[in-house]
Amino acid sequence: MRRISVSPGRQGALRPAVFAFAAMVILGACGEDSGGAARPTVSSARFVMTPQDGNDAVAPESVVTVGSGGGKLAEVVLVAGDGSTASGRMSPGGASWYTDKPLRYGTKYTLKASAVDVYGLTTSTSETFTTLTPATIVSAEKVTPEKGATVGVGMPVSVEFDHAVKDVAVRAAVERRLRLTSSTPVEGAWGWVDDKTVRFRPKDYWPTGTKVSVATDLYGLPMGDGAYGGTGGGVSDFVIGPAVMTTVDSAAHQMTVTRNGELLRTVPVTTGKPGFTTRSGTKVILGKEEHVLMDGTTVGIAEGSSDAYRLDVYWATRVTWSGEYLHAAPWSVGSQGVANVSHGCVGMSTENAQWYYGVVTVGDVVNVINTDSSKTMEPIGNGYGEWNLSWDEWLKDSAAGAVTAAKPV
């Protein structure tokens, strides 16, 4: 027999070819044929089964099939060594049976089937086979946002794997397997920011109030060189909060904050001075810290130089991994609204910083404009800078292309 190995996503396309032989036999009402022949004592039903009996290297994504000629299937069961049964479906009329989920890795299975012929005579058969053990298991190690979170409209979905995924075809298969649904239909795309991390960015900001769910089960997915997907990561459900948007005008030394289009406050600020210009462009809030020790040596400023600093900073809202924050800067109140004197952060009064800290959340958007500098926010690698790419540019990092996320049917 010829072994058939397909991915779960191709089952429907193969079934007509696999089971063309299994046209249902019309049952007769008589115990003898038209020629008066005696009723047989042995069932004429026969089986065609894949994979073959004794195969010890069956691909976990293979579809196990059983077909019956000369009768119809009465029962089919696929049992693992621990006694658990594999999921399968019987076709209408009992002409065939097939598995509908990937098989377990490195597992010995026993396939048992019985069929009945036109005379009501039953016959049974069984075979055994073993699935291969993957050389490597690739699993989702971390999913962001975390389950139960409420995040801003600029928050991407980030999935980090415990092994590199470099092959373009495998990346496309992973993107198609990651199951992202949303209560409001949203066009978006997965894009690879490095060999271990893929992110989903909507074409436009998330609609306020959208409920999002992402499932990262890759089990049974072949990933090349003997590697297969694992079950890590689970399901993350989160909600998109109000659209809180911050615009920092470096030239005007002002920051405006809106919620769902309504102006909440205009705040005098100071931004980066020459040589330490604040990055222009769109940033997404990464986190908030009531207190952080800021030390200039961590960003390459020599200790003892005129630009050296070591400060206890409060009400700090982070927007880059390299150390840009929006925070309280009581030492520069005289320059706020007037001049840019910081080392790259956006500084404001303690009162305004505490207010801002309470208004924003992770995933909210911060736009910095009019810096009169070529220093811009990195699209990849220094936070969530993906919004600085056009939609067409973002699609270049996707292996499978754009999709529309909608609630499950």
* Full set of structural domains in the chain with CATH: 8-130 (2.60.40.3780), 136-240+393-405 (2.60.40.3710), 244-387 (2.40.440.10)
* CB burial of residue 92 (10 Å; 0-12, 13-18, 19+): exposed
Check if 343 is active-site: no
Choose the catalytic residue: 30, 163, 291, 327: 327
CA 105 from centre of chain: 22
Six token digits for residue 356: 């801002």
pLDDT for position 60: 96
Choose the catalytic residue: 30, 291, 343, 345: 345
| Helix (H/G/I), strand (E/B), else coil: 327 | strand
Return the CA Rg of the chain: 31
Check if 345 is active-site: yes
Query: Among residues 378, 156, 384, which one has the least CA distance to residue 280?
Result: 378
Q: Which residues contact 80 (CB under 8 A, 6 or more apart)?
A: 86, 104, 107, 108, 109
Dihedral angle, C-alpha 303, 308, 310, 312, nearest 10 °: -170
Query: Among residues 223, 215, 219, which one has the least CA distance to residue 182?
Result: 215
pLDDT for position 35: 52
Q: Helix, strand, coil proportions of the chain in percent (round to 5)?
A: 10, 40, 50
pLDDT for position 279: 98
The answer to whether residues 202 and 187 touch, using CB atoms and an 8 Å cutoff, is yes
pLDDT for position 302: 73
pLDDT for position 26: 34
pLDDT for position 72: 96
How confident is the chain (409 residues) per 10-residue block, as mean pLDDT? 36 37 37 60 94 96 95 97 96 95 97 96 97 97 96 98 97 96 96 98 98 96 96 90 98 98 98 95 98 79 73 94 96 97 96 98 98 96 97 97 86
Identity of residue 394: W
Q: Give me the phi and psi of 332, to 5 degrees please.
A: -120, 20
The answer to whether residues 135 and 141 touch, using CB atoms and an 8 Å cutoff, is no
pLDDT for position 187: 97
pTM of the prediction? 0.84
CA 189 from centre of chain: 10
